[in-house]
Structure 1
């Protein structure tokens, strides 16, 4: 049963974390202290419950808390030997844990355990960090709060910071909390309700001070008006593949695009280059955004080819600067450099491009840089923005504790960082492929003519960090181009193309109309060509290689009865595989095909009348068609959508990295369709 005070803690945490004005995603931590029964002695024991490493306040559950014995936690004061032993103190927290389970104690545990208050909040509100990063933050804190809130000069998170705050709490009993220089705020209270009220009071007073006394245009005059929305999105789609390729120089990345008002306004103003160059301050910010972004120094109306050239130049310079930053501060104990590519790219008039190991990481990086913009705006409105020194940023970015945290992360799934575009994914084989690729770590664009079906499949796969729907008629060139633009803006590019959209009309030759012929060739032969062509432009621009997979058919090589239009269209697709494999290999793009037998169960094609037509051809009841197909195979087993999806995964997951131009039969063994 959850302790009542712990439930209060969770409720408070969820409320605070639900409002981005209070703290950023996964930022800050909260705690409570209370007496519980020790199951060993059956006596009372004082415990500290504190949000552990990782997780988010807005969604915090009891499993995300670390529970520690307060007597052992406080006894660490007697063995602490100074700031040079901070890492040892974090390791010592493990010896203070009470019971099994729960989260690993974070670096901020001392802040909560040593402060003499039943409830403690440590948050990263934009308004509070604006005070924390103002050049005269201490004086501003005094002016705004008097004795009610104290100032703590910058100190790296750790045991000493906990001691500093605990001392202020003792020496200033009238204080409800502190502003932590360069960092954030900490507040406390005798009850959960009082602690939450104190946190909100500090945030509110900071914001009110900025609103009432701050300069109206802290970023200066407007010099570049944002492009109109449609043109802005087109420009973003044109730039994103290049940017993603550059940002993936050291390791593959997924992208996120942000053109919110705070971002566009910042980039429209004359002072954004100098402020961006100062970098972010709060550790939560720069750990996710790197010390500073890459900023394009061209107006938004410059021709694309010139913009591409300049971005390449700036990227090379950024990598040189980052390597120099690492070499300035690294010593023999520092972890290896993790990569010199930017996490944030700012393009005036267009917006912000952010990158990470998955879509969520990229999106959160953008949220953190938006927080940083808000911080800079607030600090410049009331003072001068002055983030912590670069050396301090390096100490945190390449902290051994941060490295250990990264090493604890689970191993990435096979398709992590890869972006799949699957046509005909609203049902049947396409749906199974989309689901399998997402399950293996890919971001998936669910493309289908049926908008409702595409939206349903995408929603069932996951949120927009995992899957997005697009509506597209693959016979329409403009719709395909727009669908690829949407995919690029959603995830930064595309890596895996699955040409699956199809239909079939089963008729004898003499009954096959020109309309029957044209429809099937338009959807499968023409549609695959158009999708592959549009996708190839993105793949080539990214310079990351990629895969194009055609879901063809055993009918591309098997001469079945009453099927001339469908089989001819599938044969066209089969030869496109060979042609494109030969042409795109120079760009590292592999093109392969899959030849399934009739997939009856779960198939959109068979459900739309094709099954009844084929059953009539073979003289079996429609409900027995799958069994009929199975019995004519060597393995005597029916082919399911999941079998085709498994073949797609096998082709794109990496073990067949040297394979291109191949057709993989997924037909349980149809001897007449053996490839020769």
Structure 2
């Protein structure tokens, strides 16, 4: 284990047990081997003044509902009166009614501004220790999920670790922990069958050290036993191809898988070819272990009842999309039927309706693992959880035999009414949730404004530009504003087909596909006809017309693999419709862009791919166009100075408005946000009102 405790840092927090709790929690949550994102919980008990009586009272601070240890702050803690929490045993009427106790936790709250208590609150409250850690460490769960885990725990720790059989988290499990402690005074912790580990100490440091020592001892025991029963996972069944081949296969199949998984709601994907995944998928025991599913309830909630294992080879030719779809369709249909049968056989009279029957985890032997969820973070976390499950299976098989949760117990967790209530309380998905957008030229100007608007509305975005420095600055900005799960970047010149393909490959590896393509990259050259060169002409047509064609062509190929439709928006210009001086090359290229949009709309309607146009005019803010000779050329054409251009453009409009990048972004969102899903081949003018640019 990594011992991260810093005595100097802890000394700064001395005397503040809650601050030390948060410090300890962040250290534990930073290591995915100890607990995953959102998993586990920690607590401390302190003496505080009762605000009503002024007398000293014991208060427990514990991670609240929905929090994450690695990023925990005080606002993520629930604070409860310990005596009130324990007094709830007086009204507890048995395990059949334990869910009713959750509402009563609210009567025990000490700090009214603290987080809502989680279902694990009584597990901490009924134990007397000042500091408590409940984690889901791979090494400990491997023992907890072993067929004879109880015996191994007793022998390995010489009776210093208690054992409580599997039981769904809740009020009754808290009582079971207290009973275990009463019957085994002096123990250092408690192993929860198939679930995880409870450990404690009198101080934050003692709890931290105790926790890591027990996990370390568990990990060392597993390490000593690997290979004693035979090869890991029954030995190697197949060998993976080189990394570049794995990535190539993943890129080829990811949009197809995403399409199959998006029948209920549009999904975002995550791919990994982590060595631990490949060791599992390439093994002889894959077909035996994968259908068993996971053991820890936190793993299970994120990864579903079991993964889908693809019956295709690592070196299969995936270039024929129709053929690969025909090959995969029966597997997905069989999975959905399996899931429906699981639901029907396990459901209760009051169970929520069956949710999406598609798999979350898809294993491609020799290539890696795909996970699909409503957003990138959830898909990534599901991948992390399944890697934890692989670690657990590996350890349990090394020392005994792996056991998963019984199907009924798994169902009771997945369709728990309290879990359903939590899902219902979640914010409504944003308009572009589950969608992936590639916006060309999005490191600045109009393109960046569009990418930000889409990200704000829930989309994942692919930021790209032909300027590496500008792209690096945009990367820093998006990372700071949105975090790593919302975007990816690619250096792309829209005149370079190879660069375009690489940008789409980045989109597929990051998110598993693309739904929205916005052709925004551009440049402008304003010259009288006698000064216009052939080089100027070729550059304008290469970037504006050829670039729009190539980017659309590559995007449509991916959309067709997904078979879920899509959108193409082309940022053209009022100059596509309005004739003006010194503008032969730019204006005619824009007219070509506009008609190419019409042609694409007519052709792609059968694929449910909509093609629409936004026509801006005079968007000067943050635009590279206006940093060059274009501004001077237009100013000369209109007989004004460069400084007078914004006002000149505004005054010639019907609304007397200056047009900003955000105005174009809003127009793009209007076309793809859900209200105009039956609209294609349209032109939306965002120019302040230029009568000559009216389409009709």
Q: State the TM-score bracket (shorter-chain normalisation).
A: over 0.9
Distance 1:133 1:307 in 2: 37
Q: Which residue of 1 aligns with 2:571?
A: 551
Q: 2:14–2:20: 8 Å Cα contact kept in structure 1? A: no
Deviations 1:409-460 (A, max 9, x none): 1111111111110001111111111111111111010121112322322331
Deviation at 1:384, TM superposition (A): 0.6
Q: 2:346–2:407: 8 Å Cα contact kept in structure 1? A: no
Deviations 1:459-509 (A, max 9, x none): 312222111111111111111112111111111110110000100111111
Matches within 5 A, 1:125-140: 125-140=137-152
TM-score by length of 2: 0.96
2:241 to 227, 230, 248: 227
Q: 1:149–1:177: 8 Å Cα contact kept in structure 2? A: yes
Q: Which residue of 1 aligns with 2:359?
A: 342
Q: Which moved more, 1:221-230 or 1:640-649?
A: 221-230
1:80 aligns with 2:92: yes
Q: For residue 626 of structure 2, give the secondary structure of its aligned residue in structure 1.
A: helix
Distance 2:634 2:211 in 1: 69
Deviation at 1:319, TM superposition (A): 0.3
Distance 1:623 1:24 in 2: 56
1:112 aligns with 2:132: no
Q: Which residue of 2 aligns with 1:566?
A: 586
1:279 aligns with 2:296: no
Deviation at 1:99, TM superposition (A): 3.0
Distance 1:166 1:637 in 2: 70
Q: Which residue of 2 aligns with 1:33?
A: 45
Q: 1:239–1:308: 8 Å Cα contact kept in structure 2? A: no
Q: 2:489–2:506: 8 Å Cα contact kept in structure 1? A: no
1:655 aligns with 2:675: yes
Distance 1:27 1:180 in 2: 15
Q: 2:567–2:611: 8 Å Cα contact kept in structure 1? A: yes
1:575 to 595, 619, 631: 595
Q: 2:303–2:386: 8 Å Cα contact kept in structure 1? A: yes
Distance 1:364 1:156 in 2: 22
1:143 aligns with 2:163: no
Distance 2:172 2:213 in 1: 26
Q: Which residue of 1 aligns with 2:645?
A: 625
Q: 1:580–1:591: 8 Å Cα contact kept in structure 2? A: yes
Distance 1:64-1:3 versus aligned 2 partners, 3 A rule: farther
Structure 1: tracts of 5 or more residues without a match:
none
Q: 1:298–1:307: 8 Å Cα contact kept in structure 2? A: no
1:608 aligns with 2:661: no
Deviation at 1:629, TM superposition (A): 0.6
Q: 1:224–1:269: 8 Å Cα contact kept in structure 2? A: yes
Q: Which residue of 2 aligns with 1:370?
A: 387
1:19 aligns with 2:36: no
Distance 1:72-1:491 versus aligned 2 partners, 3 A rule: same
Deviation at 1:348, TM superposition (A): 1.0
Distance 2:477 2:349 in 1: 48
Q: 1:601–1:626: 8 Å Cα contact kept in structure 2? A: no
1:124 aligns with 2:136: yes
Q: Which residue of 1 aligns with 2:3?
A: none
Distance 2:611 2:250 in 1: 27
Deviations 1:42-72 (A, max 9, x none): 1111111110111210110011011111111
2:268 to 248, 254, 263: 254
Distance 1:115 1:309 in 2: 56
Aligned length: 676
Distance 1:3 1:413 in 2: 44
Q: For residue 411 of structure 1, give the secondary structure of its aligned residue in structure 2.
A: coil
Q: Which residue of 1 aligns with 2:525?
A: 505
Q: 2:33–2:388: 8 Å Cα contact kept in structure 1? A: no
Distance 1:450 1:601 in 2: 18
1:214 to 226, 235, 240: 226
Distance 1:307-1:127 versus aligned 2 partners, 3 A rule: farther
Distance 1:77 1:197 in 2: 32
Q: For residue 598 of structure 1, give the secondary structure of its aligned residue in structure 2.
A: coil
Q: Which residue of 1 aligns with 2:457?
A: 440
Distance 1:240 1:214 in 2: 34
Distance 1:395 1:350 in 2: 33
Q: 1:224–1:300: 8 Å Cα contact kept in structure 2? A: no
Deviations 1:632-664 (A, max 9, x none): 111111111111111001111011111100011
Q: For residue 204 of structure 1, give the secondary structure of its aligned residue in structure 2.
A: helix
Q: Which residue of 2 aligns with 1:532?
A: 552
TM-score by length of 1: 0.98
Q: Which moved more, 1:306-315 or 1:115-124?
A: 306-315
Distance 1:2-1:203 versus aligned 2 partners, 3 A rule: closer
Deviation at 1:2, TM superposition (A): 11
Q: Which residue of 1 aligns with 2:178?
A: 166
Deviations 1:1-38 (A, max 9, x none): 99811111111101111112211111000001111011
1:190 aligns with 2:202: yes
Distance 2:385 2:38 in 1: 10
Q: Which residue of 2 aligns with 1:358?
A: 375
Q: Which residue of 2 aligns with 1:596?
A: 616
Distance 1:616-1:343 versus aligned 2 partners, 3 A rule: same
Distance 1:262 1:54 in 2: 28
Deviations 1:611-648 (A, max 9, x none): 12211221211122111111111111111111111100
Matches within 5 A, 1:407-446: 407-446=424-463
Distance 1:186-1:421 versus aligned 2 partners, 3 A rule: same
RMSD value over aligned CA atoms?
1.3
2:212 to 200, 210, 213: 200
Distance 2:185 2:632 in 1: 82
Matches within 5 A, 1:386-425: 386-425=403-442
1:452 to 469, 477, 484: 469
Distance 2:563 2:125 in 1: 51
